[in-house]
Chain A
Amino acid sequence: MSVGVPDIILDETDVGAVDLVSDEIEARSPWELFFKRFREDKFAIAGAIFLTVLILAAIFAPLVVKLVGATPPDQIDPNSLDIFGDPTGPSSAHIFGVDQIGRDVFSRVIYGARISLLVAFVSTAITTVIGVFCGLFAGFYRGWVDTVISRTVDAWLAIPYLLLAIGLASACSFGNGCVGGLIKPGVPVVIAVIAITSWTYPARIIRGQVLSLREKEFVDASRSLGASNFRIIIKDLLPNLTAPIIVFASTFLPTAILFEAALSFLGVGVQPPTPSWGQMISDASPNIATQWWYMLFPGLALLFTALAFNFVGDAMTDAMNPRARRR
């Protein structure tokens, strides 16, 4: 379990690494240290296992559904609705019950994992890339480039993401999408919205890091050797930014998952009948008093997935941070 941020500065070498038998004392590489620390966090391990299982289930969704004996996510089972057209709950035929038009909830939860995971990873990647790019430029070049980018970041917060989301969703959800077919309806729109609204966070972080890095001696050294700006950025700055980038990405993943769920809940994310956990919860909300199952199971799926990502992300943050006190 993570213990939070700095306490006392520790050396890179860990006392436990001493091999008492041999004569040599081997220092561990940063990556070895990283994995060792990560392994010590039991919650993170549990989270990682859960995520692996989930990813596998999502990839092999048709197989999983068949194994459990559930109907495919698009198939309507007319016997599962009563005479008022209302769905029935968990039963032997449908272990998680059916949704409001008779589709198996278990299937839809498994297939919904595909959407959540896909959106989470891709949007995190794009957000990080854009943010790093802007942060790098702002921090490195400073001057008017920095001012423009920083002020844009400031102003960006006030733009209602809802407007963007709904606007994009309605404009790009038809036919070939918009921006010349780049943003197609459904998942691409959600990814675009997340990326466009969130790039400011990594930008700010990376900018701060670059500002302090560029003052360091090794940058001066490179410059005095005649390295071009481009070379300095690639060879000196970027490798040192790996840690904060990974930290940001791992902590942004759960945010991306919840963001997609929120957009789908509001009806501007993935469009039905593609299963999405947020959409399923939205469908269930008028009837939660009597039809609790298809609100509960997708919600638990979201909770556990986000939690798993959070545990893993937390552990990664701590493992990357040399100054964190270890148990």
Chain B
Amino acid sequence: MFQYIVRRILWGIAMLFIVSAVVFLIFYILPSADPAVLRAGRNAGPAQIAQIRHSLGLDQPVWRQYLNYMGQVFLHFNFGYSYQYNVPVRQLILNRLPATIWLTVGAVIIWLSVGLTIGIVSAIRRRSILDRTTMTGSLALISAPVFWLGLVSLYLFADDIGVWKIFPGQGAFAAASNPLQKAEAMILPWLVLAAATSAIYARYMRASMIDTMSEDYIRTARAKGLPERTVIRRHMVRSAITPIVTLIGLDVGTLLAGNAILTETVFNIPGVGRLLYNAIGVSDLTVIQGITLFGAFFIVFFNLVVDIAYAYLDPRVRYS
């Protein structure tokens, strides 16, 4: 078990390096704007631009820039300064992270509770009307683009522009001042983000449950005379849920890494996804790199947690 964990951690660190190198390379080959000119401002002469380029370290070879950067990150936890705002990148990211965390945590809770429950119930009442309705409905939710769902929900329920003025609308999270207001402002984003994912989880859980149901040990448990509810809870769900666990890790990790960009855009939430999108648009390399590293870290971390949990739940994994 210990060996397994150590191996996974080492691989995680290697992945951080690989990912940041790839991002560096992509940015170098395909820049969208010239950061030195951006920094220099208007009416800057070529001499001034060259001077700024030098002070930003952009005239050095790529590999040297990369090594400098990684050195700063790992030795001093210094992610550099944003070209656009001239503020430490670490500060920028940490400022934006809370919004994304709010969004992710709420959405995860909803999609786990709703998705898994529906999956379990649908599996148990297989081929009933309930089952058919939930499975068709879930397909519909998966098929709707999440940004469109967000816009439609705003059109219907936002308290400023909606048909029925129920929930706070766009930009409410940024304007909220206490946790209660923030949670209120997040209700629509949570629902929208969780909608498609809970549908996916419902389907997976259902399939996994059906798989488990046909196993021999379930038959044995029933034959032993255990009440059905205990059979479900202690045997079926526990083993059906194991493959889902890996999925959770991946989803949470990628959301924190900026995958919630569509929801953040539609609802105007000042999160990490939006920051990354803006930074890419203006070639703010340090911010891009910083978010990528943070993001990769989250993905690695959650995958690790999930792998360990999986190994704990399913001993066969440890010896692979």
A–B contact, 8 Å CB criterion (strictly below): yes
A178 to B154, CA, bound (A): 39
Residues 161-197 of chain A, each 1 if its beta carbon lies under 8 Å from chain B, else 0: 0111011101100000010000000000000000000
A306 to B213, CA, bound (A): 31
Give the bracket for the number of chain B residues in contact with chain A.
35 or more
Q: Assess whether B281 is interfacial by the CB under 8 Å rule.
A: yes
Contact among A3, A43, A162 with B136 in the assembled complex (CB-CB below 8 Å): A43
Among B106-114, B204-212, B217-225, B228-236, the stretch that binds chain A is B204-212
Give the bracket for the number of chain A residues in contact with chain B.
35 or more
Chain A stretch 2-35: residues in CB contact (< 8 A) with chain B: 2-8
A-B contacts counted at CB < 8 A amount to: 159
Contact A307 to B18, CB < 8 A, known contacts A158-B295, A162-B261, A166-B32: no
A163 to B18, CA, bound (A): 16
Contact A163 to B296, CB < 8 A, known contacts A288-B151, A311-B139: no
- A299→B139 contact, CB < 8 A: no
- A307→B139 contact, CB < 8 A: yes
* Additional A-B contacts beyond A151-B11, A160-B257 (15; CB < 8 A): A6-B211, A7-B210, A158-B300, A160-B295, A163-B280, A166-B281, A171-B31, A262-B147, A262-B262, A265-B265, A266-B261, A292-B155, A299-B144, A306-B142, A310-B143
Secondary structure at the A interface, as helix, strand, loop or mixed, is: helix
Q: State the Cβ distance, B161 to closest chain A Cβ, in Å.
A: 4
- A299→B22 contact, CB < 8 A: no
Chain B stretch 182-227: residues in CB contact (< 8 A) with chain A: 203, 206-207, 210-211, 213-214
Chain B stretch 106-153: residues in CB contact (< 8 A) with chain A: 123, 126-127, 132, 135-136, 139-140, 142-148, 151-152
- A261→B145 contact, CB < 8 A: yes
Q: State the Cβ distance, A8 to closest chain B Cβ, in Å.
A: 7
- A5→B211 contact, CB < 8 A: yes
- A299→B145 contact, CB < 8 A: yes
A265 to B264, CA, bound (A): 13
Q: List residues of chain B with CB under 8 Å of any chain A CB.
A: 11, 15, 18-19, 22-23, 26-27, 29-32, 123, 126-127, 132, 135-136, 139-140, 142-148, 151-152, 154-155, 161, 203, 206-207, 210-211, 213-214, 250, 254, 257-258, 261-262, 265-266, 273, 276-277, 280-281, 288, 291-292, 295-296, 299-300
- B15→A158 contact, CB < 8 A: yes
Q: Assess whether A155 is interfacial by the CB under 8 Å rule.
A: yes
Q: List residues of chain A with CB under 8 Å of any chain B CB.
A: 1-8, 43, 151, 154-155, 157-160, 162-164, 166-168, 170-171, 178, 254, 258, 261-262, 265-266, 278, 281-282, 284-285, 288-289, 292, 295-296, 299, 302-304, 306-307, 309-311, 314, 327
Chain B neighbourhood of A288, CB < 8 A: 151, 154-155, 161
Please list the 9 inter-chain residue pairs (A to B) with the smallest Cβ-Cβ separation, ordered nearest first: A167-B30, A306-B143, A289-B161, A299-B148, A170-B32, A171-B30, A307-B143, A158-B296, A5-B207
Chain A neighbourhood of B32, CB < 8 A: 166-167, 170-171
Contact among A43, A278, A285 with B145 in the assembled complex (CB-CB below 8 Å): A278
- A254→B132 contact, CB < 8 A: no
Contact among B136, B143, B207 with A303 in the assembled complex (CB-CB below 8 Å): B143
- A254→B143 contact, CB < 8 A: yes
Chain A neighbourhood of B142, CB < 8 A: 254, 306, 310
A292 to B18, CA, bound (A): 45
- A306→B15 contact, CB < 8 A: no
Contact A7 to B214, CB < 8 A, known contacts A157-B254, A157-B299, A314-B139: yes
